[in-house]
Amino acid sequence: MTENANNVSNANHAKNAKNTKNVVVFDYGFGNVRSAERALARVGARVEITRDYERAMNADGLLVPGVGAFAACMAGLREARGDWIVGRRLAGGRPVMGICVGMQILFSRGIEHGVQAEGLDEWPGTVGPLKADVVPHMGWNTVEQAADSRLFAGVAPDARFYFVHSYAAHGWELQAHNPALRPPKVTWSTHGERFVSAVENGPLWATQFHPEKSGDAGAQLLTNWIETL
């Protein structure tokens, strides 16, 4: 290889390294962090699994996974100061993405087995039991993509995503009263009843399904998120 070719190659490597986005998968004990790490790395992110406050605050993007009960996830998140991190990042317009219960805890409250627990209250509304003949909702399902969605850009309208949940947000209560602000984009799915399956709200995005387990369609969603960081 010539000296000029070496210089071009080194410049390209430096450019790619500079453009690579740093994503923290927040490790608070209630999410399949390794699956998320692998999926993000496959689509080009530099990924770190940590609960370190400074690293989570300073990352280009913060991913909050979630598996298990709403109240337990909230307790784990608070113990790791994750509630502060999410709130402060969003106050500064720093991107956050929630997955599964990591989406549910963004609502005001959750009710499981008759017990109510407070969520992060980023969005008004209650997460409650999914009313369907078969629960949990486990497997592949389609979504009703929001119009002009950036999250679903390049994803076929009939694409299927992988769900595992027994609870969901059954309605959307937040309304944008300031015409200067971009209104939230809400995507829906149906299993027994209609429920919120994804939201794009400024720097805060979330999915009820697992993009890291949803093949090419899920990879495209994660790519779309990374490209906004």
Provide the annotated active-site residues.
Answer: 100, 210, 212
Residue 137 is predicted with a pLDDT of 98
Residue 198 is predicted with a pLDDT of 98
Residues 50 and 80 sit within 8 Å (Cβ to Cβ): no
Residue 175 is predicted with a pLDDT of 76
Q: Tens place of pLDDT for every residue, the chain, 229 residues?
A: 455 544 434 433 333 445 899 999 999 999 989 999 999 999 999 999 999 999 999 999 999 999 999 999 999 999 999 999 999 999 999 999 999 999 999 999 999 988 899 999 999 999 999 999 999 999 999 999 999 999 999 999 999 999 999 999 999 999 765 555 678 999 999 999 999 999 999 999 999 999 999 999 999 999 999 999 9
Domain harbouring 138, CATH code? 3.40.50.880
Global pTM?
A: 0.90
Residue 14 is predicted with a pLDDT of 36
pLDDT digits (tens, 9 = 90+) for 60-112: 999 999 999 999 999 999 999 999 999 999 999 999 999 999 999 999 999 99
Residue 177 is predicted with a pLDDT of 59
Residues 124 and 107 sit within 8 Å (Cβ to Cβ): yes
Residue 7 is predicted with a pLDDT of 45
Residue 124 is predicted with a pLDDT of 97
Structural domains of the chain, count: 1
As a whole number of Å, the CA-based R_g of the chain is 18
What is the extent of the structural domain holding 130? 3-227
Residue 68 is predicted with a pLDDT of 93
| Cα separation, 59 vs 65, whole angstroms | 16
Q: CA torsion 214→217→158→195, rounded to 10°?
A: 50
Residues 211 and 39 sit within 8 Å (Cβ to Cβ): yes
Task: List all residues 6 or more positions away from 128 whose beta carbon is below 8 Å from its beta carbon.
Answer: 110, 111, 167, 168, 170
